[in-house]
């Protein structure tokens, strides 16, 4: 009799566990997106302003990005000239939700408020994005970031 109780209790516990924790899994994936986006922004900005070598920026981007985003960011960094790019003071995620999970790609739709410092002072702008991550086992890398107009 004891063995039959275990047959019913263990699947019941598994079902409860899966039912209670998918929100936690989505939150942790959203946290990964936010962390990767912040890190990417920091690396690119440091490289643009000369606070980081191009080689170091490329190495760091390689750790958090994959193609096609990695290729476009490296090409962008290599074509840097003396420019008056506004400085990013902060980025705030207004919303971020997972839209699809297909094979080893996760897609999110998010809205980010950028707090900027330009020649004429501080300003903010809010932009919506489609953001894709590619999973390599337990490691996620940014794969694509496309503004939604």
Rounded Cα distance, 77 and 130, in Å:
22
Structure-token match 């702008």, residue found? 125
- pLDDT confidence band for 17 (50 / 70 / 90): very low
Rounded Cα distance, 33 and 43, in Å:
15
CATH class, 2-148 region: alpha beta
pLDDT of 23 > 50? The answer is no
In eight-state DSSP terms, residue 85 is P
In eight-state DSSP terms, residue 104 is T
Look at 129 and 138; give whichever has higher pLDDT: 129
**Digit-coded pLDDT (tens) for 44-79:** 999 988 899 999 999 999 999 999 999 999 999 988
Domain ranges in the chain?
A: 2-148
Tell me if 130 sits within 8 A of 148, measured CB to CB.
yes
Rounded Cα distance, 64 and 128, in Å:
21
């Amino acid at each position: 009799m004891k063995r039959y109780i275990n047959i019913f209790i263990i699947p019941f516990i598994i079902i409860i566990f899966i039912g209670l924790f998918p929100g936690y899994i989505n939150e942790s994936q959203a946290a990964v997106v936010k962390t990767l986006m912040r890190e990417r922004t920091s690396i690119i900005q440091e490289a643009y302003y000369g606070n980081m070598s191009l080689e170091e920026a490329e190495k760091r981007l390689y750790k958090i990005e994959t193609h096609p985003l990695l290729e476009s960011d490296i090409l962008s960094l290599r074509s840097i000239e003396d420019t008056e790019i506004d400085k990013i003071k902060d980025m705030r995620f207004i919303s971020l939700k997972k839209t699809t999970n297909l094979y080893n790609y996760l897609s999110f739709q998010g809205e980010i408020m950028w707090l900027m410092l330009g020649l004429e002072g501080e300003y903010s702008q809010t932009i919506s994005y489609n953001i894709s991550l590619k999973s390599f086992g337990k490691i996620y890398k940014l794969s694509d970031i496309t503004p939604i107009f």
